[in-house]
Amino acid sequence: MSVLDTVLGVIFLSQTGVGVLGNSFLCFYIFTLFSSRRARPMHVILAQLTMTNIIGLISRGFPEGVFFLQKGYLLGNLGCKMVFYVQRVSRGLSIGTTFLLSAFQAVTVSPSNSRLAKVKVQKLIRPSCVSLWIFNMILEINVPLYVTGPRSHNSSYTGGFDLLYCYWGKVSQGITILPSLRDILFVGGLVCSSGYIVFLLDRHHQRVQYIHSESLSSGTSPELKATETVLMLVSIFVCAYCISCGITLYKVYVTHLGVQVMNVGTFAALCFPTISPFLLIHRGAV
């Protein structure tokens, strides 16, 4: 085991540990709000986001970290199928929940005379959260068919690529049209809803300046602060998603992509679930 392997293992396990700790604390706090009946509709989405973060960190960060610290650590066929299925489902949930959070905030800050303001969004949140779980679990059901144990245990594996401790065969079939379409729709929705929020904030800022009131930055509106926090979350998510997704797609079509580049993709993918709970706590969004 080289020094680089040790460093990578420590980094991934540290990301996982810090992220799980932050998300667990935030999740516990949100559930205390539910028990005391002080929770707002937004807390339902945040509760799902924190749980999704925990699942994603454990299913991806922990195996990666242990792999680098203990060369020869193998999950086996069944372990690989389970871990990567959970990874893919949690990834889809993360994209969908972040979109749901952004869309909810866009409706919340919409002017009272707009069509969006008339949407009964509070009644749609819980069904939407449940639907995301069902949708992603069904959509990724084909993953266990193509993921197996490491290639080193079977030299007959061809047509796929190594995932360090596992192997993904028949990539063109494993990465199907539907998951890609899901990502495009949700990320596109994220960008549109965030752009709409920025437009509303800019218009509000101009209006405040016009009437010579307090500046936007000194405002104490909880809605305004929550909106700014959601925009920060979306920005971090989109950046991390683009880096991770870009590297993964490049790996699919360029078979000689180095392992270190894949590590960058893993690090980027773990950044959002690690940072988001601390951002929410620091900004007082809960």
pLDDT tens-digit map of 170-218: 655 445 678 888 988 999 999 898 888 888 877 766 666 555 444 444 4
Tell how many helices (H) and how many strands (E) occur in the chain. Answer: 10, 3
- Measured CA to CA, the distance from residue 264 to residue 15 in angstroms comes to 13
Q: Which amino acid is at 268?
A: A
Poorest-pLDDT segment among 25-39, 104-118, 171-185, 249-263: 249-263
Helix (H) / strand (E) containing 146: helix 143-146
- Measured CA to CA, the distance from residue 48 to residue 128 in angstroms comes to 11
Cβ atoms within 10 Å of 74's Cβ, excluding its own: 15
Q: Residue 161 above 80 pLDDT?
A: no
Maximum distance among all alpha carbons in the chain?
73
User: What is the third-level CATH fold of 3-150+158-210+220-283?
Assistant: Rhopdopsin 7-helix transmembrane proteins (1.20.1070)
Band of the pLDDT at 150, cuts 50, 70, 90? Answer: confident
Residue 156: both structure tokens together: 């007959």
Q: Residue 128 above 90 pLDDT?
A: yes
CA distance readout (Å), 53 to 23, 56, 125, 234, 240: 7, 5, 19, 14, 14
The domains of the chain are located at 3-150+158-210+220-283
- Measured CA to CA, the distance from residue 286 to residue 214 in angstroms comes to 25
Residue 178: both structure tokens together: 């539907």
Specify the pairing of strand 161-162 against strand 167-168.
antiparallel
Pairwise pLDDT comparison (259 vs 268), residue with the higher score? 268
